[in-house]
């Protein structure tokens, strides 16, 4: 529980500004981007200046979204990696580069999102923090031995034990912190490639390792990224963002 007005007043006073990064490569552009952005306009950091950074290989196919005052959108073209695992993992490199070249000049916070989700309720300044991680909806109540960390000692993401299982669909914080995290994950991903290994859950495994070694300062509840197919909803009073349906059959076939 929290008082949204207290957070909003504080961040308006501090002149906080937020960059949101999202990737919509290949078929994910048509499938998800419009709902993601339209719903973000209804719920994401209202009252603060927001810049969306959309990374896509198809800039000309961008949906036309009307943005409220103090809200902007920048499109950055990226290549389409042929393996989906690389589309997902290489986000770390692109995020770091965008922070370095643009974001750090225009925002003090960055939040990085998967595109296959939809905002349903307030996702506001209460979520801001130096380094912010999200508890994975499917794991927050499970015993640690069920966490799907990478268990291969050859991978840089290898973990024996940890404290939480984080979901890579959302992470954020001060741009400095997010850049450090993205750089570290990208380095580990590249080292794995050189060693011919790939972590079990790709960038998510590396992110879990990073947050085990460098604790986030704020944890978001699974209400900030809820999967409506989970039967036990007793903990969730407000759904702020939900997973969009995954049409793997059509979206993941080459
Ligand atoms: C991804 C998988 C299979 C086929 C396509 C793609 C794909 C992903 C794509 O064609 N185009 C694209 O833009 N993406 C971006 O990568 C998009 O932003 C998407 O939300 C993100 C991660 O892929 P996604 O959402 O299909 O993977 P999930 O929901 O199973 O994600 C979790 O695990 C991933 C690693 O396997 C990441 O860590 C992700 O952050 C996690 O939420
Ligand atoms: Mn996703």
Domains of the chain, by residue range, sit at 4-251
Mean pLDDT in residue range 124-136: 98
Distance from the alpha carbon of residue 216 to the mean position of ligand 2, in angstroms: 21
- ipTM surpasses 0.90: yes
Mean pLDDT in residue range 166-174: 98
DSSP assignment of 129-142? -SEEEEE-TTTTTS
Look up tokens 């990226």; give the residue.
78
Q: What is the mean pLDDT of the chain?
A: 96
What residues form DSSP beta bridges with 243?
A: 117
Q: Which ligand is closest in space to the CA of residue 207?
A: 1
Distance from the alpha carbon of residue 115 to the mean position of ligand 2, in angstroms: 6
CATH architecture of 4-251: Alpha-Beta Complex (3.90)
Share of the chain above pLDDT 70, in %: 98
Q: Is the pLDDT of residue 246 over 90?
A: no
Q: Which ligand is closest in space to the CA of residue 20?
A: 1
Element (H, E) at 124: none
CB 117 within 8 A of CB 24: no
Q: Is the pLDDT of residue 68 over 80?
A: yes
Tell me if residue 204 is catalytic. yes
Residue 248: its pLDDT value, please?
A: 67
Residue 186 has, within 13 A of its CA and on its CB side, a CA count of 15
Give residue-wise pLDDT tens across range 2-50. Answer: 999 999 999 999 999 999 999 999 999 999 999 999 999 999 999 999 9
Residue 13: its pLDDT value, please?
A: 98
Binding-site residues from annotation for UDP-N-acetyl-alpha-D-galactosamine = 23-25, 28, 114-116
Give residue-wise pLDDT tens across range 137-155. Answer: 999 999 999 999 999 999 9
CB 76 within 8 A of CB 54: yes
Binding-site residues from annotation = 23-25, 28, 114-116, 136, 148, 204, 227
Q: At what angle do helices 91-98 and 203-213 cross, to 10 degrees?
A: 60
Residue 209 has, within 13 A of its CA and on its CB side, a CA count of 26
Residue tagged active-site, from 118, 198, 204, 223: 204
CB 130 within 8 A of CB 218: yes
Helix-, strand-, coil-residue percentages of the chain, each rounded to 5: 35, 20, 40
Name which of 220, 222, 200, 206 is nearest 141 in CA terms: 222
Distance from the alpha carbon of residue 9 to the mean position of ligand 2, in angstroms: 32
């Amino acid at each position: 529980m929290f008082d949204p007005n207290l957070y909003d007043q504080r961040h308006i006073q501090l002149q906080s500004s937020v960059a949101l990064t999202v990737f919509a490569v290949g078929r994910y552009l048509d499938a998800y981007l419009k709902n993601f952005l339209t719903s973000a306009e209804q719920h994401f950091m209202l009252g603060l200046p927001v810049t969306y950074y959309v990374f896509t290989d198809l800039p000309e196919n961008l949906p036309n979204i009307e943005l409220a005052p103090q809200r902007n959108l920048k499109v950055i073209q990226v290549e389409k990696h042929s393996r989906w695992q690389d589309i997902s993992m290489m986000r770390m490199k692109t995020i770091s580069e965008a922070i370095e070249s643009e974001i750090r000049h225009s925002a003090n916070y960055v939040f990085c999102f998967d595109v296959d989700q939809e905002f349903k309720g307030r996702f506001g300044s209460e979520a801001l923090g130096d380094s912010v991680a999200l508890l994975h909806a499917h794991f927050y109540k499970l015993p640690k031995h069920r966490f799907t960390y990478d268990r291969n000692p050859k991978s840089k993401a290898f973990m024996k034990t940890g404290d939480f299982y984080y979901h890579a669909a959302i992470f954020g914080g001060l741009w400095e912190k997010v850049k450090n995290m993205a750089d570290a994950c990208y380095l580990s991903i590249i080292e794995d490639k050189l060693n011919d290994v790939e972590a079990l859950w790709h960038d998510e495994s590396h992110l879990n390792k990073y947050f085990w070694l460098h604790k986030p300062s704020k944890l978001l509840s699974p209400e900030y990224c809820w999967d409506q197919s989970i039967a036990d909803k007793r903990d969730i009073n407000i759904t702020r963002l939900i997973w969009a349906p995954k049409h793997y059959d059509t979206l993941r076939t080459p």
